[in-house]
A = this chain, B = another copy of it.
Amino acid sequence: MLNKKTLTDFFLGCGAPYETADWVLFGAPFDSTASNRPGARFAPKAVRIESNGIETYSPRQNRDMEETNIFDGGDLELCIGDASVALWQIEDAVKNILNDSKRFAMIGGEHLVTLAAVRALQGLHPGLRVLHFDAHADLRDKYLGAKLSHATVMRRVWEILGDGSIWQFGIRSGEKSEFVWASEHTSMQIFNLDGLQKTAASFKDKPVYLTLDLDVLDPSVMPGTGTPEAGGIFFNELLDALQSMPKMNIVGFDMVELSPPCDTSGASTAAACKLLREMLLMFA
């Protein structure tokens, strides 16, 4: 359930009251299906605290968080250990936000939380497109015996939205069968972000959900993630690509898979924090 009181330790500049806010930011601290190194559950709190250390102003965009109107609702209290219950809890919170005619940004948690967001969006936003940045295809049908997993999440999303609704960028890892499957059911750009601008332009005013798995970034930029995958995108490459997109009808977005316990130097959390600022300044 979403907390609607004003947080004291809100994310950088996100101190608007719920009632009047256009966007709602919240944390979904869930990582029970993490098969490799867990810890994404600690990300939302870490990002909020770290945000004290950065500026509200972006020289890149010449925009300031002071100009936004965002409410930070804190972290959802989620069932640990039962993915289906936790997903239902997230879905419920998102629906409440949508029902109040607001848009939202969600800080994961592991990538599975994206499924809850899509479930909440699907009824209200027919024709939803999902713009997916990731090192991994996440298209397995099952992973280690589980249907609900960070490694199956985009397959589950596809079951809801169907062919032609998922655009994947930066994918550089997966089983052979995932790549084969993708060639029929999603649009996948491997290794890099080429074509992003054109893809975004094609969406016109269709509703778009953007999901960013931070491991799309190179592990040198983002070692603090559960499944670092060498050979990725650099920070400025990602921001340049995002900035190059024409304005879209983004109804929500998430940033997932930051794992503070794996971020021994603190630099990953700082990078995630800055990235969230830039995305909020772009989309909110």
A residues sitting closer than 8 Å to B (CB atoms) are 3, 5-9, 31-39, 41, 45, 49, 53-57, 59-60, 62, 64, 74, 77-83, 85, 89, 112, 143-146, 148-149, 171-176, 179, 190-191, 218-221, 223-224, 227-231, 235-236, 239, 261-268, 270-271, 274-275
How many angstroms between the C-alpha atoms of A165 and B185 in the bound complex? 51
User: In the complex, which residue of chain B has the Cβ closest to the Cβ of A48?
Assistant: B9
Residue in A35, A55, A221 with the greatest tally of chain B CB atoms within 10 Å: A55
Specify which of B45, B146, B176 is in contact with A64 (CB 8 Å cutoff).
B176
Chain B residues near A31 (CB-CB < 8 A): 38
B residues near A56, Cβ cutoff 8 Å:
175
Q: How far is it, in angstroms, between the C-alpha of A38 and the C-alpha of B33 when the chains are bound? A: 12
Of B8, B38, B219, which contacts A221 at CB under 8 A?
B219
Cα distance, A36 to B54, chains bound together (Å)? 10
A80 CB to nearest B CB, Å: 5
Cross-chain contact of A218 among B54, B143, B220 (Cβ < 8 A): B220
**Among A64, A174, A190, A264, residue most surrounded by chain B Cβ atoms (within 10 Å):** A264
B221 touches A221 (CB 8 A): no
State the oligomeric state as a number of copies: 6
Cα–Cα distance between A5 and B5 once the two chains are bound (Å): 10
Identify 28 residue pairs between A and B in the complex whose beta-carbon atoms are under 8 Å apart, listed by A's number.
A5-B6, A7-B8, A9-B9, A9-B45, A9-B74, A32-B80, A32-B81, A33-B80, A37-B266, A38-B39, A54-B173, A56-B175, A59-B173, A59-B179, A77-B144, A78-B144, A79-B146, A80-B149, A81-B148, A85-B145, A218-B220, A219-B271, A223-B266, A227-B270, A229-B274, A230-B267, A230-B270, A261-B261
Q: Which chain B positions have C-beta within 8 A of A264?
A: 264-265
| Pair B227/A235 contact, Cβ less than 8 Å | no
A265 touches B235 (CB 8 A): no
What is the bound-complex CA distance between A262 and B7, given in angstroms? Answer: 28
Residues from chain B with Cβ under 8 Å of A45 in the complex: 9, 49
Chain B nearest CB: distance from A72 CB in Å?
Answer: 10
Tell me the complex Cα distance, A29–B145, Å. 15
Please state if A228 and B270 are interface contacts (CB–CB under 8 Å): yes
How many Å from the CB of A184 to the closest CB on chain B? 16
- Most central of A41, A60, A80 by chain B CB within 10 Å: A80
Q: A79-B145, A228-B267, A230-B271 are in contact. List 20 more A-B contacts (CB 8 A).
A: A5-B8, A8-B8, A9-B9, A32-B81, A35-B53, A45-B49, A55-B174, A59-B191, A80-B143, A80-B144, A81-B83, A81-B148, A82-B82, A82-B148, A218-B235, A220-B220, A228-B270, A228-B271, A229-B274, A230-B274
The residues of B that contact A6 with a CB separation of less than 8 Å are: 5
